[in-house]
Homo-oligomer: A and B are copies of this chain.
Amino acid sequence: MSRGLDYDSINENVKQVAYAVRGELYLRASELQKEGKKIVFTNVGNPHALGQKPLTFPRQVVALCQAPFLLDDPNVGLVFPADAIERAKHYLSLTSGGLGAYSDSRGLPGIRKEVADFIERRDGYPSDPELIYLTDGASKGVMQMLNTIIRNSNDGILVPVPQYPLYSAAISLFGGSLVPYYLEETANWGLDIDNIHQSVIQARIKGITVRAMVIINPGNPTGQCLSEANIRALLKFCFQEKLVLLADEVYQQNIYQDERPFISARKILLDMGPPLSKEVQLVSFHTVSKGYWGECGQRGGYFEMTNIPPKTVDEIYKVASISLSPNVPGQIFMGLMVNPPKPGDISYLKFVTESKAILESLRRRAHIMTDGFNSCKNVVCNFTEGAMYSFPQIQLPPRAIEAAKRAGKVPDVFYCLKLLEATGISTVPGSGFGQKEGIFHLRTTILPAEEDMPAIMDSFKKFNDEFMEQYEDGRSYSRM
C-alpha cells in the first residue's frame, strides 16, 4: 500500500494540470539565472519585476494603513501628503481592526461599495455591492467560479484557444472538460459564433454538457480587443445555450488603439434589455495586477455577479468563508484603483502623470514589439490592441520540426528553449496556450523597459533569423 502523498496515489486531477506560464521554460530560465545569466523574464505579465515603478499615491495610502501609529506622528506630514493621510484614515475606518483583522469573507463592505460605484460610472447601470466579492487576485475568483460550476467530467467549459492556461489548469483540477473554441488569427483573433456553436455540438456528441463560456477581453495571450457586435452576438449565444459567461476583463485599462475602446460584457448585456439582461448569468473579473497599476504581488481582485440566483450567491459566500478573508491590503489597493485621486486633490497631478506615462509607454512598446516581430524571418504577428502580450506566429521550417522531434521536444518549446539559451529572453511556447495542429507561436509580454526594447528585439531578430537560416539550409551551428 502506498502512502497518501506518494506520487502514484495522489489526486489524478492534480497530475492532469498543465501550467505552461511557469512550466519547463520558466524552470530553465530560473536555473540559468542562478548560474549568473541575465534573463529577461517576459513569461508572466509581471510589470514591476521588469522595472515598472509603483504608482506613488496608492503605495503611500497602504503604507500608512500598515503603520496607523504614524497617523498620530507630528512628523508624518514631512513624508506623506495630506490626501494620502486622509485616505488612509478613510480605509482604516472601513475595517474593524485595521489591516491585521480578517474582513468579511466577501471583502470589506465599504470597498465593495467603492467598486460598485466604479462599475456604475463605467457602465451607466447601478451595481449591487452584495454581488461583488473581493478576492486574492482575479485567478482565485475564476477558480472559485469554476469549482462551483463543474460537477464532473461531463461538464464542459468553452475556453478560447489560444487561452490563458489558468483556465485549462483550473478545469483539469476540478475534473471538468475544456471545450475549445478557436480564435481566428487571420481575423485579428476574432470570435466566430458559428465556430463556437460547432464546438458545442461536437462536445455534445461526446456526452459533454457545455455549462459556461470564458472570454478574455482584451485577450491573453492574443492581445485583441473584442468589438461590441462580437460580444453582443456572444451574449445571445449564451442566452440561447443557457451558458454562464465568465468575462475575464482584467486588462480593461490596457488598450492601445482607439477604434475599439473597452466595453464591459455587463454593459452590453444590460444595454440589450430583457429577456437577456434578466437571464444571462454573467460573472466579471477584475484585478489590481494589470492596468497601469501592475500590483501583482499584492493579490487584489474582485468578481461581480449578474443574474446569479441568491441561493447560489450564498453558496459562493460560504465557500469563500472557508479561507476566512482575502488579504486586506490587497482589498485597499482595489479600493484605490476604483477610486483614484480626483482633480483638485493634492496628489492628482502626480497620479495622472505617473499613470499616463506608463500607459503611453505600453502603447509605444506594443508597436515596437509588433513591428520588431514582423521584421523577422518567418514570423508574423498581429498588433497588440490591448492587454500585455505579443503572440507572434513562428513558422518553423520542416527541418526545425524534425530537429525538435529528435530532441524530444514540442517544436515551439524547442524554439523557445534555444531562444532562451541564446538571448536570455524567457517566453512561453504557444503550445502552452493551445494551438491548431502544425501552427506555432510564442507569447511574450510587452513589459520590458522601453529603453531596453530595441536591444531585446534586435537580439531576438538575430537569434530568429539565424535559427531560420540554419534549419532552412540544413547547416548546424554548434553554438546553437
Interface residues of A (CB under 8 A from B): 1-7, 9-12, 14-15, 17, 19, 21-22, 30, 44, 46-52, 54, 56, 59-60, 62-64, 66-70, 73, 75-76, 78-79, 95-105, 136-137, 139-140, 143, 147-151, 166, 169-170, 173, 211-212, 242-244, 279, 281, 283, 289, 293-299, 308-309, 311-312, 315, 318-319, 321-330
Contacts and interface: CB of A to CB of B under 8 A. Distances in A.
Contact of A3 (B9, B242, B318, B330): B242
B309 A137 contact: no
A62 B51 CA distance: 20
Nearest to A295: B100
A149 to B, nearest CB: 5
15 contacts: A4-B211, A4-B244, A10-B151, A22-B318, A46-B102, A47-B100, A49-B97, A75-B78, A102-B297, A103-B297, A139-B322, A143-B322, A173-B322, A297-B325, A299-B327
Contacts of A327: 136, 297-299, 327, 329-330
Contacts of A173: 147, 319, 322
A324 B148 contact: no
A39 to B, nearest CB: 10
Contact of A97 (B48, B143, B299, B321): B48
B244 A3 contact: yes
A327 B298 CA distance: 5
B309 A5 contact: yes
Contacts of A242: 1-4
A254 to B, nearest CB: 16
A15 B323 contact: no
Given A14-B148, A315-B15, A101 B49 contact: yes
Contacts of A298: 99-100, 327-329
Contacts of A296: 100-102, 324-325
Nearest to A213: B4
Given A54-B68, A99-B298, 8 more contacts: A5-B148, A21-B321, A56-B69, A63-B70, A76-B79, A99-B295, A147-B173, A299-B328
